[in-house]
Structure 1
């Protein structure tokens, strides 16, 4: 495999900057465990917004979206990310409440209302999901580094994993937030800068429009049902996603949390068209290539090497920004929700930071080992998203929404939703209904039925969320 020197240099500089951010935040911004886990609950709206956007935009939203635009979805592939922009908007209405309750994690919120069993099960489901997602994102980073820079894929996986672990271990959420800010700028502007070169190389926009079938240029090509399904999937994923919710917990105040959520929707909405246009241009310039190589082929063949280097860094950033967040959230749950809560309630603050860092290292190294087996990324992601959402979705959303609900509604909904989600996925998602949606709907129904019966028969009411 040939080595692309200029892109390699740019990627090395980018990775070095990530390490510098980790060193800087560790030295100057980490004073206690809240600083490490939630950036001191001091993140301004712009940093939260960029972090939310960067966490959602991964390899699937860059390389994958361009591939779908090149293939049978055409320009309607924009909905893969545009649906996310719409799906995150409702989160803005929950953001003030989320910030006000002063929690650290989703399991903590569930546990406050529904007790120990709900807390432990939600913690375990979140940890397993986040661990799998960390492995898949490290694998995606390694594959992308290997393909775009030109080194062995296993070596690339180790490089991506080690850099992600090191800067996350050093700087916690402060490092995560700063790198997400930088990564979002690289993702958005790196790909945006490539568009004029790619369009020109394909013969200009008028040539592209003339050569692409009108149906391929339509925004409705994937079908209304798929678009609606994507919006629903994103809403459920965002509202039950620890790495997304933790950003709202870390906002400097309630207003910043709400503003950041809406800003992230705008950022993702604008970005959606960027890889889609590159994919369409690649369809005209290279009509017989593998669709999965649409973005890399178009950029490397039609843009200058410095632009290719920026795109390399952008795509690597899109996956690393997800990996670091998944890793840190899993470690925070292990430390706050399991270790401190049930094993060592009197643990010192310095020990909390040390424990979280150790957890980051262990999760990161194990995730790298899993990534080396190169399990199918899509399969791993689908399973992970379903596992963390299908069961806990109702318990978390309704815990912060309903003033009055029953004590056991949480645990029943978690168990029913998880069972239905797993069954639905094993059955290959019958009727075209996604497992994450089937499980989440089942969890809501189970929650409402249990709460209705229990509040009338036993009058066992769940305690309200305490606002500290």
Structure 2
């Protein structure tokens, strides 16, 4: 290993140790299961806004966006611009409603309208979706380390998983909150440094315009259908993601919940644009690399100290998202499975111990699958498609509660997850993105249930009328 790589590795190791230290330090604040999961409502709206943003600016929004922009150009940034729109919509449509429910799990919120069966199915779907998110994050982290530090892909995935598990399992929401503030700063710093050095090597913005085809500057280059699909998926994921609900539950009142959502939306836009410009720049400076290497290769233009900061930023992107996903899944397992079945007396010590154990297990399970993860951005949006199904249920729950029954909601979610997964695995046939399948399937199933329920009600009323008529005539 060269001296430069040794310096980069040292900076990354220091950053990892700093992250682990914060997890250990915050352990003293997480002495109950409630504080472990929500932080005891101790955070202001800006901190919560950063927390809400953190899950969505991982490797899918940095390496993944740069990877897509390497081939398609500036239009790749829509995956985050539409995310900002989703946060704003959430601020005005959903934040207050979720906060007033007093639930910190998406399954608990849905169960208030559709019953316990819907609670269980919602939990399973969300845990599945968040596991897919972590697979893509570990894959992105492994790509970063293996490209720059020549660390084996498998070892990189293990390092990322173990470190995240350590600090989240110790400090819970406090650890996620404080470390994600650091992660967000390092992410932004890494993005800015990578773009600055890339533009310098490419001849500045004028160099981009001179050396790239005009379609690389087409804001609809990825296709209008893809942009619409991204919009639906982002709205769906923001409206239904467990960690978003958990973050909203950590605010002190409705107004701060709304402000937090707005902050998240404003903070996410620059990430998409900068990451896209990095990918476009890399296509000029490094024309013969694999697109996944577009962002990491920018570090080869820098001195080892600055390169170390950029790599730390990419690692931060992984840590932030994995931490958010992991604690979200642990909350679902605790509230929907462990406490109702094994801890009926709600012993808080048992709950806290299980929460930490669940965090460890959930954080480690996706590591083997990261080796086989396909194109990063498509994996991220598959996870968002799964959550879009839940978003459909949430919107109906709040605004059209009589549209269908608990049975319809459960069947709609089950069929949607099966069809969406199959559609994704067979490559989105007919040019129809799996996101559309995720959004439409529950609506169709619940509409059928609505009419079946309505017809059954009519038949019951007719039967009751006939019965009453028979009794009257006999008299």
TM-score normalised to structure 2 length: 0.88
Q: Give secondary structure in 2 for the equivalent of 1:272.
A: helix
Q: Give secondary structure in 2 for the equivalent of 1:346.
A: coil
Q: How far apart in 1 are the matches of 2:363 and 2:415?
A: 31
Report deviation, 1:88. Answer: 2.8
Q: How far apart in 2 are the matches of 1:397 and 1:245?
A: 14
Partner residue in 1 for 2:436: 437
Q: Summarize the Cα distance change of 1:206–1:406 in structure 2 as closer, same or farther, 3 Å threshold.
A: closer
Report deviation, 1:110. Answer: 1.7
C-alpha contact (below 8 Å) 2:148/2:297 kept by paired residues: no
Aligned residue runs from structure 1 range 214-229, under 5 A: 214-229=214-229
Report deviation, 1:381. Answer: 4.5
C-alpha contact (below 8 Å) 1:149/1:312 kept by paired residues: no
Report deviation, 1:307. Answer: 2.0
Q: How far apart in 2 are the matches of 1:369 and 1:416?
A: 27
Report deviation, 1:448. Answer: 4.2
Q: Give secondary structure in 1 for the equivalent of 2:280.
A: helix
Q: How far apart in 1 are the matches of 2:375 and 2:342?
A: 34
Partner residue in 2 for 1:180: 180
Q: Tell me which of 376, 382, 392 is aligned to 1:394.
A: 392
Report deviation, 1:406. Answer: 4.6
Aligned residue pair count: 455
Report deviation, 1:11. Answer: 1.0
Aligned residue runs from structure 1 range 296-445, under 5 A: 296-301=296-301, 303-371=302-370, 373-376=371-374, 378=376, 381=380, 384-390=383-389, 392-402=390-400, 404-408=402-406, 409-445=408-444
Report deviation, 1:106. Answer: 0.9
Q: How far apart in 2 are the matches of 1:16 and 1:179?
A: 12
C-alpha contact (below 8 Å) 1:34/1:41 kept by paired residues: no
Question: Which segments of 5 or more consecutive residues in structure 2 lack a partner in the other structure?
Answer: 461-475
Aligned residue runs from structure 1 range 80-119, under 5 A: 80-92=79-91, 93-119=93-119
Aligned residue runs from structure 1 range 21-100, under 5 A: 21-27=22-28, 29-71=29-71, 73-92=72-91, 93-100=93-100
Which of 62-71 and 440-449 deviates more? 440-449
Question: Which segments of 5 or more consecutive residues in structure 1 lack a partner in the other structure?
Answer: 461-468
Q: Summarize the Cα distance change of 1:271–1:425 in structure 2 as closer, same or farther, 3 Å threshold.
A: closer
Q: How far apart in 2 are the matches of 1:10 and 1:438?
A: 44
C-alpha contact (below 8 Å) 1:406/1:455 kept by paired residues: no
C-alpha contact (below 8 Å) 1:148/1:296 kept by paired residues: yes
Partner residue in 2 for 1:9: 10
Q: Give secondary structure in 1 for the equivalent of 2:295.
A: helix
C-alpha contact (below 8 Å) 1:126/1:330 kept by paired residues: yes
Q: How far apart in 2 are the matches of 1:154 and 1:419?
A: 29
Partner residue in 2 for 1:200: 200
C-alpha contact (below 8 Å) 2:327/2:359 kept by paired residues: yes
Report deviation, 1:426. Answer: 4.9
2:237 paired with 1:237: yes
2:138 paired with 1:138: yes
Q: Summarize the Cα distance change of 1:114–1:204 in structure 2 as closer, same or farther, 3 Å threshold.
A: closer
Q: Summarize the Cα distance change of 1:199–1:262 in structure 2 as closer, same or farther, 3 Å threshold.
A: same
Report deviation, 1:449. Answer: 4.6
Partner residue in 2 for 1:162: 162
Q: How far apart in 2 are the matches of 1:427 and 1:146?
A: 29
Q: Summarize the Cα distance change of 1:217–1:134 in structure 2 as closer, same or farther, 3 Å threshold.
A: closer
Partner residue in 1 for 2:258: 258
Q: How far apart in 2 are the matches of 1:10 and 1:81?
A: 29
Partner residue in 2 for 1:464: none
Q: Summarize the Cα distance change of 1:140–1:46 in structure 2 as closer, same or farther, 3 Å threshold.
A: same
Q: How far apart in 1 are the matches of 2:80 and 2:300?
A: 24
Q: How far apart in 2 are the matches of 1:430 and 1:152?
A: 34
Q: Give secondary structure in 2 for the equivalent of 1:287.
A: coil
Partner residue in 1 for 2:19: 18
TM-score normalised to structure 1 length: 0.89
The one-character-per-residue Cα deviations of 1:283-334 (angstroms, maximum 9, x if unpaired) are 3333333332222223322x33222111101111111211112111111111
